[in-house]
């Protein structure tokens, strides 16, 4: 049986693995793999063979997860020994095939990161700023309307440079987006 679930970090992954082990106490093997962060972050990954010959379960499972290009995920394959000896090649195929079949069916969501900025402008300039934000996967978080408008905005990390260039160009340098924080 193959189980898969989102897991943001090692702690969440290990908790899920423990839950599956508790549910399937009679099983002989509970092999697992996780990617706790970005699929490209090799520091936040792990795997375990749980008594199977070294490298025949956890590593092939981790390779499947890496190939899916999905992060923050954990997988556990539970194996009740049926007495059939699979050999190392058979074990690798058995552990990776179940996961390969399940990965395409799992729901996925793109995780995006944003930077926050504060800017000050005239009322008449707000429409232009709103339009720029819509082009940059950005949004207004808070607006304070006084003599001038002070807005807290966020812009997709991948669009920040383009947003700043367009803001500079359209507003002729009269409005500066002051960075509040940066997301990872």
Instruction: Note the pTM of the prediction, 2 decimals.
Output: 0.64
DSSP code per residue over 80-141: ---S---HHHHHHHHHHHHHHHHGGGS-------EEEEEEEE-GGGHHHHHHHHHHTT-EEE
Per-residue pLDDT, 82: 59
Question: Pick the residue with more confidence: 87 or 4?
Answer: 4
Per-residue pLDDT, 184: 46
Query: Model confidence over 69-78: pLDDT tens digits?
Result: 888 999 999 9
Across the chain, mean pLDDT equals 86
Determine the average pLDDT of the residues in 178-184: 67
β pairing state of 73-79 and 29-35: antiparallel
pLDDT tops 70 at residue 181: no
DSSP code per residue over 40-75: T-GGGEEEE-TTSSTTSSHHHHHHHHHHTT--SEEE
Three-point CA angle 121, 159, 132, nearest 5°:
35
**Dist CA 81 CA 8 (whole Å):** 31
Report residue 15's pLDDT band, with 50, 70 and 90 as the boundaries: very high
Per-residue pLDDT, 74: 93
| Residue pointed to by tokens 């697992």 | 32
172 phi/psi in degrees, rounded to 5: 50, 40
Question: Pick the residue with more confidence: 107 or 82?
Answer: 107
Domains in the chain, CATH or no CATH each: 2-105 (3.30.230.30), 114-182 (3.30.70.240)
């Amino acid at each position: 049986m193959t189980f898969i679930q989102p897991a943001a970090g090692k702690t969440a992954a290990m908790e899920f693995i423990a839950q599956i082990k508790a549910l399937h106490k009679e099983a002989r093997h509970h092999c697992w793999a996780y990617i706790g962060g970005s699929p490209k972050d090799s520091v936040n990954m792990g795997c375990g063979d749980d008594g199977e010959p070294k490298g025949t379960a956890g590593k092939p499972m981790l390779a499947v997860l890496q190939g899916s290009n999905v992060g923050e995920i954990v997988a556990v394959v539970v194996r009740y020994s049926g007495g059939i000896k699979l050999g190392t090649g058979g074990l690798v195929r058995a552990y990776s095939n179940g996961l390969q079949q399940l990965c395409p069916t799992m729901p996925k969501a793109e995780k995006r990161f944003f930077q926050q900025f504060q800017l000050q402008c005239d009322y008449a300039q707000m429409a232009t700023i709103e339009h720029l934000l819509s082009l940059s996967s950005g949004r207004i978080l808070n607006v304070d309307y006084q003599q001038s408008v002070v807005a807290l905005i966020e812009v997709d990390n991948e669009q920040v440079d383009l947003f700043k260039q367009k803001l500079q160009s359209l507003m002729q340098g009269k409005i500066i987006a002051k960075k509040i924080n940066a997301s990872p």
